Structure 1
Amino acid sequence: MATYVIVGAGLAGAKAAQTLREEGFDGEIVLIGAETERPYERPPLSKSYLQGKSEREKIFVHTPEWYADNNVDLRLGMRVTRIEPDHHLIRLRDGSRLPYDKLLVATGAVPRRLPGPGYYLRTVEDSEALRAHFAADARVLVIGASWIGLETAAAAVEAGCSVTVVEPEPTALNRALGPELGELFARLHAGKGVDLRFGTAAAEITETGVRLSSGERLAADLVVVGIGAAPEVGLARDAGLEVGQGIRTDAALRTSHPDVYAAGDVAEFFHPRYERHLRVEHWANALHGGPAAARSMLGQEVSYDRLPYFYTDQYDLGMEFSGDIEGYEEIVYRGDPESMEFIVYWLRGGRVIAGMNVNVWDVVDDIQELITSGVIVNQTELSKG
């Protein structure tokens, strides 16, 4: 009987195990996680769960009984120390060895860190710790106007904290959305009283706050660092697998070793549509990438070509984004951006390459179809709908 091992018990790993069973795999499935919590989804950690608006039980991918009911050997609080692809086995911290026929690496990513006593938001424990510190009138300083940074800032504001955001880029989300839409999010937070410090970096985190690169010191009761995440590629690199910005895979999510696969935040997969490798850290990639890897492990024909997708909720703004803005040449709006109810399209060569709907719902499929069609659009018609 074949044994399939999944290293990484996050959303991608859990959905891969689920898909293996749904597709009829009757061999042994071992799902190994370094955390002590069973697999859970991370978006609520910086959104509804951080705000105290959702129950803890709602973040988990499956019920506690699901793993036993589906004969999935879930091993939590356990770290893999080595992968040996040529011998088809992994080594665990307790000294044991586990052979496999096929292996999926879904180890995710870890927050990029700064020296000093800052808080980070990656695990459910991190979210709970932050929420406990969001007391009324607390001074919260967020380093990084990233998605995590801005969602944390919004949660802190709604908890009654005074909030400052420090970001070396000229505006919020500059790399993710470009300056035009990044500025919209900056105005959103400024309108809620957030003190935005763009064009400056945090040089030092201290017990009493932050010293900026300009030399200015900002006092804070709590410093939260949200400057991005780095893929957990150490095991793969040590195993001799090809690693770039993440674990390199083909479009079938197969690594440089034919019996080892990668999915989720850690994977840098070849995207057939973009004809280049992408690493996508967002929830949807784990949700769909895990199942795609599972089908590939089963020998099915897989070409993982889903458009990058992510969403955010900040204050009374909700949005969904599809595509990739790299190389965009112009922007077309449908609706008034100042109204915070609109759709925006990024174009290159007259074609839509990305789209974002802000407080407009049930249009994602239409936006993604427009992107994948590759048609040259009439901008006037595009702006009117």
Structure 2
Amino acid sequence: MTDSIQPDLKAGVPLEHVADGAMLSGQIDGEDALLLRQGNAFYAIGAQCTHYHAALADGLICGHSLHCPMHHSQFDIRSGSALCAPALDDLPTWRVEQVDGRVFARERIVAAPRSRKNAPLDDVVIIGGGGAGLAAADRLRREGYEGRLTMLSADVDPPYDRPNLSKDFLAGTAQADWMPLKPGDWYSEQRIDLRLNTRVEAIDVAARQLRVADGPACVFGALLLATGADPVQFVVPGAAMGQVLSLRNFADSRAIVARAASARSALVIGASFIGLEVAASLRGRGLEVHVVAPDAVPMQRVLGPELGTFVRDLHTSHGVIFHLGTTVTRVDRERASLADGTVIEADLIVAGVGVQPSVVLAEQAGLAVDRGVSVDAYLQTSAPGIFAAGDIARWPDPHSGERIRVEHWALAQRQGQVAALNMLGRRQPFDISPFFWSQHYDVTIQYVGHAERWNAIEMDGSLSARDCSVRYSQGDHVLAVATIGRDLASLRAERELENALAPGQP
């Protein structure tokens, strides 16, 4: 529906124009809005997601929550409240009335001040300045926590939109000032003591305090470990110091952009999601791009052979040159030698060969560690009052029936939000199904669930038409669903996965 024919919701619409469970796009005082109906109740909310401004009319209503089709954020249709990351800001809402068979959206509702609540703790400290840490801090304040709140971040930049490090910012379609997740004054307004470029050296569990490099000890009543993961450092014989770049933080992305400005050709080592997103972004900047990886099919372990082949062919169609089934053995200035004898000329080299969870602090503190920091269903570690979220957390997933650790941005944020609730004594289990998206040129892959292994892949639709769903199953149990061009189907699959427990789960 175009703006020119959208109804004026303030002037009213006939009640029968909005079916039960449906949404009607319109405008209120020139602002895009949605009118939603549930039985005899009507709600008016903003029409765009507060994360990337996706059209919520294309989303999914589940009970009182509206799910965004782009990145699966969730909002309460009654209050506009942002319920689930990556959206952290609420939607606008308007008062609705029914008069003589018509529905009217009236004045905009001003959010009431947050109520202060007594919390069973003080001095909450978050180690980490990524998505999980910020989402936890935001949720603590939203839930009325009024105590001291400190974020200790080793990063030099305030929390930013990490997925765009390899996507829009690297491609040159997003400016640097678009990257922060919150404006600078938000932290002072929320009374969050954000300390950048700050490294925690040790956790004293018994004394409930942290040893901070070049600073006084920091006491805590509750602690969230959100230290993320570190890139695997790929050592190439012959490469000069700093010649092989990696991408994990904003500074890394800026360094690649700076190097790309004068480069003509690039070598990407590794055909991971990050590696191929980097390849796509550098192609967007006009560089010749070579990708070297040992696998015969990119991302086959995650996506399966057919979808992995599609991704490879998509990149090939955009000019990426693949060297698969081989590795880089040596770099001499701008010449990279491969194990199969190929020599590549490249004046920019980026390695994307995976990450390792940053668990050193947890290990030294004596917390239980198993290929990540072990947490229970409430994201609490083996030490009471100490929680973990994001790339480091390995938790009991009720959907797969296994203990898993997942390196997804949206999942890290959602774990931060649930950990915050449990710091406040809510006892809310983390039972959210993992979700991520990956952008390759004009194709977005959405993936819900988690499948480390499967014995059946079922495809519906057409990869060539960029309109399909791919289901990964173990026996009769669907573990994950990948979609292209089917955002609503991805949302529905997410709901189905979250409603289905693995065999043997209570």
Name the aligned partner's letter for residue 229 of structure 2. A
Q: Which residue of 2 aligns with 1:257?
A: 383
- Shift, 1:301, TM fit: 1.2
Query: Secondary structure of the equivalent of 1:150?
Result: helix
CA contact (8 A) 1:117 1:206 kept: no
Task: Name the residue aligned to 1:383.
Answer: none
Shift of 1:373: 4.4
Is the partner of 1:49 in helix, strand or coil? helix
Between 211-220 and 176-185, report the one with greater CA deviation. Answer: 211-220
SS in 2 for 1:339: coil
Instruction: Tell me how far apart the structure 2 counterparts of residues 131 and 274 of structure 1 sit (CA, whole Å).
Output: 39
2:349 pairs, out of 223, 229, 237, with 223
Quick one: structure 1 residues 206 and 246, their matched pair in 2 at CA, closer, same or farther if it must change by over 3 Å?
Answer: farther
In 1, Cα distance between equivalents of 2:263 and 2:170? 17
1:90 aligned residue (210, 230, 233): 210
- 2:263 and 2:348 in contact (8 A); partners too: no
> Is this contact kept in 1: 2:399–2:500, CA < 8 A?
no
Give the one of 199, 202, 208 matched to 1:79: 199
Bigger mean CA offset, 92-101 vs 323-332: 323-332
Q: How does 1:20-31 map to 2 (within 5 A)?
A: 20-31=140-151
Instruction: List per-residue Cα deviations over 1:124-174 (Å, max 9, x = no partner).
Output: 121122122334871101000001100000011111111110111111112
Contact 2:154–2:199, Cα closer than 8 Å, also in 1: yes
Indicate which of 113, 120, 135 corresponds to 1:15: 135
- 1:378 corresponds in structure 2 to none
TM-score, normalisation: structure 2:
0.71
Deviation of 1:36 (Å): 1.8
Note the C-alpha offset of 1:362: 2.6
Q: 1:350, CA displacement in angstroms? A: 3.0
Q: Kindly provide the amino acid, as one letter, of the partner of residue 161 in structure 2.
A: E
User: 1:357 is matched by which residue type in structure 2?
Assistant: T
Deviations 1:182-234 (A, max 9, x none): 11111111111211111112223443242223343322111110001111111
CA distance in 2, matches of 1:228, 1:251: 26
2:320 is aligned, of 194, 204, 213, to 194
Verify: 1:37 aligned to 2:157, yes or no: yes
Counterpart CA distance in 2 for 1:24 and 1:356 is: 37
| 3-state SS in 2 of match to 1:362 | helix
Kindly indicate whether the alpha-carbon contact (under 8 Å) linking 1:9 and 1:38 is maintained by their aligned counterparts in 2. Answer: yes
Alignment of 1:98-247 (within 5 A): 98-115=218-235, 117-135=243-261, 138-247=264-373
Letter in 2 for 1:354: A
Give the root-mean-square deviation of aligned CA atoms: 1.8
Q: Which residue of 2 aligns with 1:361?
A: 487
Kept in 2, the 8 Å contact 1:313–1:319? The answer is: yes
Q: Is 2:431–2:498's contact at 8 Å kept on the other side of the alignment?
A: no
**Structure with a larger share of its residues in helix:** 1
| Per-residue deviation, 1:264 | 0.8
SS in 1 for 2:472: strand
- Higher RCO (CA-CA < 8 Å; seq separation 6+): 1
2 CA distance for matches of 1:69 and 1:135?
A: 38
Contact in 2 for aligned 1:251/1:304 (Cα 8 Å): yes
Q: Which amino acid aligns with 2:130?
A: G
After TM superposition, give the deviation of residue 95 of structure 1 in Å: 4.5
Deviations 1:4-32 (A, max 9, x none): 11010111111101111111111101111
Q: Sequence identity, in percent?
A: 36
- For the 8 Å contact 1:136–1:159, the answer to whether it is kept is no
Please say which of residues 145-154 and 302-311 is displaced more in the overlay: 302-311
- Count of matched residue pairs: 376
Whether the aligned pair in 2 keeps the contact of 1:352 and 1:370 (CA below 8 Å) is no
Indicate conservation of the 8 Å contact 2:410/2:435, yes or no. Answer: yes
Supply the distance in 2 between the matched residues of 1:346 and 1:70 (Cα, whole angstroms).
Answer: 43
After TM superposition, the structure 1 stretch with the greater mean CA deviation from structure 2, 108-117 or 38-47, is 108-117
| Of 171-180 and 41-50, the range deviating more from structure 2 | 171-180
Choose which of 70, 73, 79 in structure 1 pairs with 2:190: 70
**8 A Cα contact 2:400 2:450, kept in partner:** no
Instruction: Please give the TM-score of this superposition, normalised by the length of structure 1.
Output: 0.93
Q: Among residues 452, 456, 461, which one is paired with 1:335 in the alignment?
A: 461
Match of 2:406, SS state, is: coil
Partner of 2:446: 320
In 2, Cα distance between the equivalents of 1:260 and 1:80? 15
Deviation digits for residues 51-70 of structure 1, max 9, x if unmatched?
Answer: 11123222212111111111
Which residue does the alignment assign to 2:437? 311
Per-residue CA deviation, residues 33-92 of structure 1 (Å, 9 max, x unaligned), is: 111211112001100111111232222121111111111111111111111111100001
Task: Give the direction of change, closer, same or farther, for the CA distance of 1:90–1:137 in structure 2 (3 Å limit).
Answer: closer
Supply the distance in 2 between the matched residues of 1:355 and 1:346 (Cα, whole angstroms).
Answer: 6
* Structure 1 unaligned blocks of 5 or more: 376-385
Deviations along 1:350-380, whole A, 9 cap, x unmatched?
34221111122232221113334449xxxxx
Moved more, 329-338 or 295-304: 329-338
Partner of 2:181: 61
Q: Which amino acid letter does the alignment assign opposite residue 150 of structure 2? A: V
1:100 Cα deviation after fit: 0.8
Alignment correspondent of 2:419: 293
